[in-house]
A and B are shown apart, each in its own frame.
Chain A
Amino acid sequence: MNKIRSISRKLRVAFIIALIITPLLNILVWMFYDRLPDEISMTLIPHSLNLNQININPLTKTLACLAAMLQVGVIMYALNLLIKLFKNYEQNQIFTTTNVTYYRRLGYSVFLYVICDKIVEILTSIILTFQNPVGHRVMAVKFSGADLVGLGTGVVIILIAWIMNEGHRLQEEQSLTI
């Protein structure tokens, strides 16, 4: 039990740091987009666009950053759930209904992340090309295997929540067996 508590505490601290860093990192990468190496900057724009098609200026950078905040918000929500979950683990509350709820919400947040990823991709492609002449404006979205992996992960987490619920029921039964 002590090991669970100690690892949970370390993970909770890591998630708190990630919660603070994630939005800052999003702002910083868009703020310094021009100075980033190509390998990183290419990951920020939709895959179906190339660098010649896009307009990078303070306005488009700000709008793209705001659009990305939608996805960052989901990440922050999931991190917040993880912080609460590991705080409960620290207090030896493992098979509880609250944790089951957190697990279920985590599963749904993975689904939401995949959906937001596509929305952000569409928005970013529009934002980065809306200043182009007519006929060169792009609205792009691409579905890949990674999206299916994301959806699969969401399903697995929801299933874990269901199993945790059964675990909670068994623990309650055990505690009421004299």
Chain B
Amino acid sequence: MALVVNLDVMLAKRKMRSNQLAQLIGITEQNLSILKNGKVRAIRFTTLEAICKHLDCQPGDILEYVGDRLEQE
């Protein structure tokens, strides 16, 4: 997919663990892992909002459009 989820980068910047974030935004660690690995098919606005709130960031910090770059790599 041409969209990359940079959640692990933001987690590292905020020095927060995955399980902590999962607990804060009210999803399971398994679902957060799916999100981090980019296997996710869709993301709810409520989830994105909660992530941005707790990581104090913008949606653009989490999601990045890479176009054909990823496929070329």
Q: Interface on A for B, CB 8 Å cutoff?
A: 172-173, 176-178
Contact = CB atoms under 8 A, between A and B. Distances in A.
Contacts, number: 23
23 contacts: A172-B41, A173-B41, A173-B42, A176-B34, A176-B39, A176-B40, A176-B41, A176-B42, A177-B40, A177-B41, A177-B42, A177-B43, A177-B44, A178-B27, A178-B31, A178-B32, A178-B34, A178-B35, A178-B40, A178-B42, A178-B43, A178-B44, A178-B47
Contacts of B42: 173, 176-178
Interface of B: 27, 31-32, 34-35, 39-44, 47
A177 B40 CA distance: 6
Contacts of A172: 41
A90 B64 CA distance: 42
Provide the main secondary structure of the chain A interface: mixed
Nearest to A173: B41
Contacts of A177: 40-44
B20 to A, nearest CB: 17
Which of A172, A173, A178 has the largest number of chain B CB atoms within 10 A? A178
B33 to A, nearest CB: 10
A86 B15 CA distance: 49
Nearest to B31: A178
